[in-house]
């Protein structure tokens, strides 16, 4: 009798179990679950560096022919080409020390769809003082007869480190990476200051200013003595540079310094090398102080890189200081200094990659590519 009573319970339990499972949201592993085609494409670009130019996406890849002749280390190739031939490209993971001087990337958002939908529509807490300005220091042109490109590159990198120690508001973009990129487009580094190139640097990489410099020296002066150990050396170096605004194309500031020669006097073994090093230290110390003050006053803004459906891709993100939930006001591009009306507001819905984000419209008109975004002001401010 008992067995007859318990036998029908199994199909009832199975029915309720299946009903419960299908009533819940479909798990990610369920075989029939499908997403939009562009989302599947984004999965293939996870953690890859991508820039968007004229609505075309390019992936940064390690050049397979980098060891052959004078080939650039990295290449930018169309996304579709990468997806069909990715086995021949190897993109190394971003090293921790490279993160601060890398380009913006567009890859799969780290926030899930469910996380993106439950964000409160509060006014952004982001402030201009917490957002980093993107700056690129180009190769310093050496005016001396013994000019070496390596020395100019080294000096520019050294200046970037000095400024980074003085200011937390500056994010330096890697010049060799940008140079390789524009050369692939048939643009010479000598054209860096032309309005068209400056505009491209701002739209693609989000660069606010470019620092271009020239150096003379270091020149060494030796004073002979009766004893070799009493011989002295002094050195002098002169560095000139200008800060160019990428949005307006105008020179914001011209800076120049020359170290006091008396402060570089050295005696004994390797006195000439010590004097040169001292001269460079003094010059860079003075320049970095002046440059950091100038860069901290740059006007901050970012750009709409691409609009795809309801998603607005932005060329600024985590490294810059943007956070999920921040509200950005959208402005139409106009002449520098011209007052522009707000077109609408975008809420940052996901932070992804090294320094990029995606947002959704919460108010106003849909933005266009290259529109300008700034943090929304708090009510009453």
pLDDT digits (tens, 9 = 90+) for 60-77: 777 777 666 666 677 777
Phi and psi torsions of 78, nearest 5°: -55, 145
β partners of residue 54: none
Q: Tell which residue, 179, 160, 178, has the closest CA to residue 170.
A: 160
Q: How confident is the model at residue 197 (pLDDT cuts 50, 70, 90)?
A: very high
CA angle 103, 307, 250 (to 5 degrees): 55
Residue 201 has pLDDT above 80, yes or no: yes
Q: What would the mean pLDDT of 249-257 be, rounded to a whole number?
A: 92
Phi and psi torsions of 263, nearest 5°: -80, -5
Other C-beta atoms lying within 10 Å of the C-beta of residue 54? 9
Rounded distance, CA 253 to CA 290, Å?
10
Are 137 and 209 contacting, i.e. CB atoms less than 8 angstroms apart?
Answer: no
Peptide bond preceding 66 in cis form (omega within 30 of 0): no
Q: What would the mean pLDDT of 77-97 be, rounded to a whole number?
A: 65
* 86 or 270, which is more confident: 270
List b or e across 349-377, with b for residues whose CB sees 16 or more CB atoms inside 10 angstroms.
Answer: bbbbbbbbbbbbbeeeeebebbbbbbbbe
Chain mean pLDDT for the chain: 75
Ranking 24-38, 176-190, 346-360 by mean pLDDT, the lowest is 24-38
What pLDDT does 119 receive?
32
Residue 95 has pLDDT above 50, yes or no: no
- In the sheet that holds 74-78, the strands lie side by side as 50-53, 56-62, 74-78
Residue 327 has pLDDT above 50, yes or no: yes
Q: What would the mean pLDDT of 274-297 be, rounded to a whole number?
A: 91
Q: Tell which residue, 182, 179, 185, has the closest CA to residue 152.
A: 179
CA angle 310, 312, 314 (to 5 degrees): 170
What pLDDT does 218 receive?
86
Domain with CATH 3.40.50.10610 in the chain: 132-296
Are 160 and 136 contacting, i.e. CB atoms less than 8 angstroms apart?
Answer: no
* Highest mean pLDDT of the ranges 87-96, 141-150, 224-233, 305-314: 305-314
Q: Tell which residue, 248, 161, 241, 233, has the closest CA to residue 201.
A: 248
Q: What would the mean pLDDT of 181-188 be, rounded to a whole number?
A: 87
Length of the chain: 381
What pLDDT does 235 receive?
92
Question: Of 3.40.50.10610, 3.40.50.300, 3.30.1360.120, 3.50.7.10, which CATH number belongs to 132-296?
Answer: 3.40.50.10610
Residue 92 has pLDDT above 60, yes or no: no
> Token match 């050294």: residue?
158
What pLDDT does 339 receive?
64
Token digits of residue 89 = 């490209």
* 25 or 197, which is more confident: 197
Rounded distance, CA 148 to CA 245, Å?
27
Q: What would the mean pLDDT of 174-187 be, rounded to a whole number?
A: 86
Percentage of the chain beyond pLDDT 70 is 67
Q: What would the mean pLDDT of 227-242 be, rounded to a whole number?
A: 85
What pLDDT does 85 receive?
76
Ranking 226-230, 241-245, 264-268 by mean pLDDT, the lowest is 226-230
Q: What would the mean pLDDT of 193-204 be, rounded to a whole number?
A: 90
Domain with CATH 2.40.30 in the chain: 113-126+301-375
What pLDDT does 306 receive?
87
Residue 3 has pLDDT above 80, yes or no: no
Q: What would the mean pLDDT of 32-53 be, rounded to a whole number?
A: 55
CATH architecture group of domain 113-126+301-375? Beta Barrel (2.40)
What pLDDT does 224 receive?
77
Q: Tell which residue, 132, 123, 111, 115, has the closest CA to residue 345.
A: 123
């Amino acid at each position: 009798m008992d067995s007859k009573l318990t036998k029908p319970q199994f199909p009832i339990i199975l029915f309720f179990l299946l009903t419960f499972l299908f009533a819940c949201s479909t798990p990610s592993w369920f075989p029939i679950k499908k997403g939009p085609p562009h989302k599947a494409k984004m999965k293939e670009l996870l953690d890859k560096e991508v820039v968007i130019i004229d609505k075309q996406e390019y992936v940064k890849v390690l050049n397979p022919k980098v060891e052959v002749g004078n080939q650039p280390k990295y290449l930018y190739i169309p996304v579709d080409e990468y997806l069909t031939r990715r086995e021949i490209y190897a993109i190394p993971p971003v090293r921790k020390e490279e993160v601060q001087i890398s380009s913006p990337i567009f890859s799969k958002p780290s926030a899930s769809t469910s996380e993106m939908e439950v964000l409160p529509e509060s006014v952004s807490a982001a402030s201009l003082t917490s957002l980093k300005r993107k700056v690129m220091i180009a190769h310093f042109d050496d005016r001396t007869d013994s000019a070496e490109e390596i020395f100019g590159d080294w000096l520019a990198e050294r200046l970037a480190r000095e400024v980074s120690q003085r200011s937390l508001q500056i994010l330096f973009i890697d010049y060799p990476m940008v140079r390789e990129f524009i050369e692939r487009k048939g643009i010479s580094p000598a054209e860096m200051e032309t309005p068209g190139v400056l505009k491209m640097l701002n739209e693609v990489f989000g660069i606010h200013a470019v620092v271009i410099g020239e150096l003379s020296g270091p020149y060494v002066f030796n004073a002979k003595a009766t004893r070799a150990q009493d011989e002295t050396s002094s050195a002098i170096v002169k560095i000139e540079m200008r800060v160019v605004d990428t949005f307006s194309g105008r020179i914001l500031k011209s800076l120049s310094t020359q170290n006091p020669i008396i402060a570089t006097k050295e005696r004994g073994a390797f006195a000439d090398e010590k004097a040169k090093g001292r001269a460079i230290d003094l010059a860079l110390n003075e320049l970095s102080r002046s440059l950091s003050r100038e860069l901290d006053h740059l006007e901050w803004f970012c750009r709409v890189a691409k609009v795809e459906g309801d998603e607005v891709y932005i060329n600024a993100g985590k490294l810059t200081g943007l956070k999920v939930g921040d509200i950005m006001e959208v402005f139409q591009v106009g002449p520098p200094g011209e007052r522009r009306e707000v077109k609408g507001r975008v809420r940052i819905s996901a932070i992804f990659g090294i320094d990029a984000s995606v947002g959704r419209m919460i108010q106003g008109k849909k933005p266009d590519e290259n529109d300008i975004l700034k943090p929304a002001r708090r009510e009453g401010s």
